[in-house]
Amino acid sequence: MTSLNLSADSWLNAPAHNAWRLAEAQRLLAFAKAAKLPDGFGNLDANGQLAPGARAETMNTARMTHCFALAHLQGIPGSLAYAEHGVAALRGAMQDADHGGWFAHPDGHDDSGKAAYLHAFVALAASSAVVAGVVDANTLLADAIQVIEAHFWSEEEGALREAFSRAWQLPEPYRGANSNMHATEAFLALADATGNGLWLQRALRITERIIHGHAAANGYRVIEHFDAHWAPLPDYNLEHPADPFRPYGTTPGHALEWARLLLHLEASLERAGLCAPQWLPDSARALFDTACQQAWNVDGEPGFVYTLDWADRPVVHARLHWVHAEACAAAAALLQRTGEAHYEQWYRCCWGFIANHFIDPIGGSWHHELDAHNQPAGTLWPGKPDLYHAYQALLLPGLPLAPSLASNLGGNVTKR
């Protein structure tokens, strides 16, 4: 087993800390319910309100569906109805009845195309909903798997293709680490929801390319952007460095997120009786430690900056809530895996920063963005639309590294 015994004074063993995590998770759920629209879930503003004429979004609907399915598995009354609403929306106007796959918005026939990033979240939502027993989730899952295998997964590349036009033409000559990172998360969930270990092998192939190959050769700075042949594009979006999904440079928050996923993959492979290479935990350590060294307090203020250039200088100084949520989850995973005090210290540090700067006890939820002086801002990420990152960070520290989150909460520990 990959996990080691923790010290008696670890926060992961502390009843008060665990009670705080679960209470905060329920506070986030209560806030997020206001995002419900007739055709999915929309984006809440800083006060927890939908703007007049708010539009449902497939990404947000998939993330909310995933989270409310998790909440139902936790035993939070009322959550199932929200998960059911999400599945119905994803099987409704958000789904392209003519060509398959999902639009970014309901009735989105004018959307530019089909993106791997979005479809990874649909697959994650479907997997969690299946484990939670949501009506029609099995059909949604089958549809998501069919689309991924027919269009996005490249057996030759061992990774996802990035995007296509609506009718699955005009493939984008770009490959992204971000979409493949979320595919890795989704594939771990698919392996548990379907019992098919092929998804673990695919997740391993993705991590071999992006982390064991490119990131390791780059001092464990995650390269985000590639051409269609997987040649790095170091100057991608140099003129638009603050892009919320494809920023220029390296994104330390993704290194933290990858670190956690590598440990989940290692534990999932071992649980399935498959070989887990030693570079998985080694790379997890290196990614986390490098991100902390290079991005925390790098400009004289506490917190992780959003992006760095290739000389490790901050480019976008904003602090985003999802980065710090992932830092907590990754530190907890590394602490569980290694038992080392180093990760306990980071776990406590990051939760302290979140409590002091991101948690909004008056307006609800968390501020999603802080400026360079750690004051609430909304330049990159206005409002409070996201439940997924913070909610997962509050749940993961109390669970084993495998199986995946929904199966963990659902007690699905049957060996396959």
Q: Which of 85, 254, 324, 368 is catalytic?
A: 254
Note if 389 is an active site residue.
yes
For 309, residues 6+ apart whose C-beta sits below 8 A from its C-beta are 248, 249, 250, 315
CB 129 within 8 A of CB 143: no
Backbone angles phi, psi at 164, to 5 degrees: -140, 170
SS3 111: coil
Q: 79-109 burial by CB neighbour count: b if 16+ within 10 A, else e?
A: bbebbbbbbbbbbbbbbbeeebbbbbbbebe
Contacts of 221 (CB under 8 A, 6+ apart): 215, 250, 255, 290, 294, 308, 310, 312
DSSP element (H, E) containing 319: strand 319-320
What residues contact 36, with CB distance under 8 A and at least 6 apart?
82, 85
Q: Is position 66 annotated as part of the catalytic site?
A: no
Are residues 318 and 380 in contact, defined by beta-carbon separation less than 8 angstroms?
A: yes
238: Cα separation from own chain's centroid: 25
Question: Of these residues, 105, 225, 357, 389, which one is catalytic?
Answer: 389
Long-range contacts for 20-23 (Cβ within 8 Å, ≥24 apart)?
21/394, 21/395, 21/397, 21/398, 22/394, 22/398
Residue with tokens 């170091």: 234
Rounded to whole angstroms, how far apart are CA atoms 180 and 206? Answer: 7
Tell me how far CA of residue 322 lies from CA of 198, 287, 306, in angstroms: 29, 17, 10
* Token reading at 334: 């590394």
- The catalytic residues are 254, 389
